[in-house]
Amino acid sequence: MELFFEYAGIVLLAMMLPMLYRIVVGPTAIDRIVAVNVIGTKTTVLLVFIGMIFGRVEMFVDFALTYALLNFIGSLAAARYLDRVHPNQPISSIEAEK
């Protein structure tokens, strides 16, 4: 059973790689926020898988829930800030203004 969770964790890590591309390329800040949020969600699932591998699910579920809550609050805060500062504007034009 541990082998299943190890392979599932590797697959989840591989699924995070396209999101890294979206974080770097953009084109808007909202795209980047969503990509970071997706990586955070997959990390939450990875924490539960790690708990299954080590046989300490109850401890890792607490970590996963805490991380998911922080990820959600951080995404909301970033989205709210960017909506007030530069709504629907590509990052390249924001950086060009500086």
69-88 confidence digits (pLDDT tens) = 999 999 889 878 877 776 56
**90 strand-pairing partners:** 28
28 strand-pairing partners: 90
Q: Which conformational region is residue 88 in: left (phi greater than 0), alpha (psi within -120 to 50 degrees), or beta?
A: left
Residue 83 lies in a domain: yes
SS3 state at 90: strand
48-57 tens-digit pLDDT: 999 999 999 9
Domain membership flag for residue 44: yes
**Is residue 25 included in any domain, yes or no?**
yes
**Residue 95, token pair as written in the block:** 């950086």
Pick the residue with more confidence: 89 or 52? 52
Q: Is residue 97 part of a domain?
A: no
Range of the domain at 28: 2-90
Q: Assess contact for 28 and 90: CB atoms under 8 A.
A: yes
Total tally of structural domains belonging to the chain: 1
CATH number, domain of 85, equals: 1.10.287
CA 36 to chain centre: 4
pLDDT at 92: 62
70 domain residue, yes or no: yes
Q: Looking at the domain assignment, is residue 96 inside a domain? A: no
Asked if residue 26 belongs to a domain, the reply is yes
Q: Please tell me the predicted confidence (pLDDT) of residue 27.
A: 81
pTM, rounded to two decimals: 0.76
